[in-house]
Structure 1
């Protein structure tokens, strides 16, 4: 009976040792699985953070580019407005001269218009055709002769194509395009 008791104690001890051993292995596997899960979670968080930072960087770059584009458009608009202001004034003078009721009022408009130019002999070129970037011009004339021509003929002026200016803002060359 003693042997049975000893053997049952021995069996009990063996079972406790085996369960402890199995428990340690299970715990170790569980710890490894938990560590792997935490590592995967951290990698996912890092990837999400990197993606978010990249998207933020792209958004900032897009905003900066949009701002630069807007500034460039504004500068271009201002340059066009500055260039078109004399063109608009000159066009109004052309209309006033060709539609003048009397030679006296036409001459007054001519005098006012000549104040826009560096001299009354400012060259005036009229483009009669353009093909492949090559312009074909009518015979060159001066602004004073052209304004007198408008006064005498009482016809609509040709469209202003290009104006060139000197340092003081006076027109030094006019290019018109036939209507």
Structure 2
């Protein structure tokens, strides 16, 4: 009976020792897993930094593209009255029918604050100083285009009032 008891105690101690060794082994494996290779850690950090840098570059490109699109849209909106007025000038000077020309003149006049809006025609420019032909009004200029059947000037500058109507036209002779 004593030998049975001793065997049981020895078995018990052996089991406890085995569990302690196994537990210590697991702990050392866990700590070994937690301690990383410095080269691997450095590579991981460099990879994360490169990824952040790439994401920042993509965001910057996206912001630049949005800004460029916004500026392009503003430019198109600003050029729209110029193109529209140039089209009216071409339609008035290019039509063979007086009635069609008068219709285009009436449509074009809706762009202006009044039919007495001044039209200034630059005949020369030197050192920032402009020489103008005799001033006229938009009504007279549109009728001039209708009579002459040719548009020899291009729009240089338009001024607008608060309601978006044209209050002044500056033309430059085509060269």
TM-score bracket relative to the smaller structure: 0.5 to 0.7
In structure 2, the partner of 1:63 is: 58
- What secondary structure sits across from 1:101 in the alignment? coil
Deviations 1:30-76 (A, max 9, x none): xxxxxxxx88x41x223323322322222122111111111112112
Q: Is 1:93–1:109's contact at 8 Å kept on the other side of the alignment?
A: yes
Say yes or no: does 1:49 pair with 2:44: yes
Give the aligned partner of residue 119 of structure 1.
114
Report the TM-score, using the length of structure 1 for normalisation. Answer: 0.66
- Which consecutive unaligned segments of at least 5 residues does structure 1 have? 1-37
RMSD: 2.5
Question: How far apart are the structure 1 equivalents of 2:54 and 2:83?
Answer: 41
Normalised by the size of structure 2, how large is the TM-score? 0.67
Question: 1:136 & 1:118 partners in 2: Cα distance?
Answer: 25
Which position in structure 2 is the counterpart of 1:75? 70
- The question of whether the paired residues in 1 share the 8 Å contact of 2:124 and 2:132 is answered with no
Contact map agreement 1:162 1:174 (CA 8 A) in 2 = yes
Q: Which residue of 2 aligns with 1:159?
A: 154
**Structure 2: where are the runs of 5+ without partners?**
1-34
Partner residue in 2 for 1:138: 132
1:114 positional shift: 0.5
Partner deviation per Cα, 1:107-157 (whole Å, 9 max, x = no partner): 22211110011111222233344556x252423332222212212221124
1:81 is displaced (CA, Å) by 2.1
1:79-98 aligned within 5 A: 79-98=74-93
Give, in whole Å, the separation in 2 of the partners of 1:141 and 1:110. 16
SS at match of 1:161: strand
8 Å CA contact 1:125–1:174 kept in 2: the answer is yes
Report how many aligned residue pairs link the two structures: 140
Work out which of the two has the higher radius of gyration on C-alpha atoms and give 1 or 2: 1
Q: 1:177 to 1:57 in 2, by over 3 A?
A: farther
Which aligned runs of 4 or more in structure 1 are off by greater than 3 angstroms? 127-132
The residue number in structure 2 matching 1:175 is 170
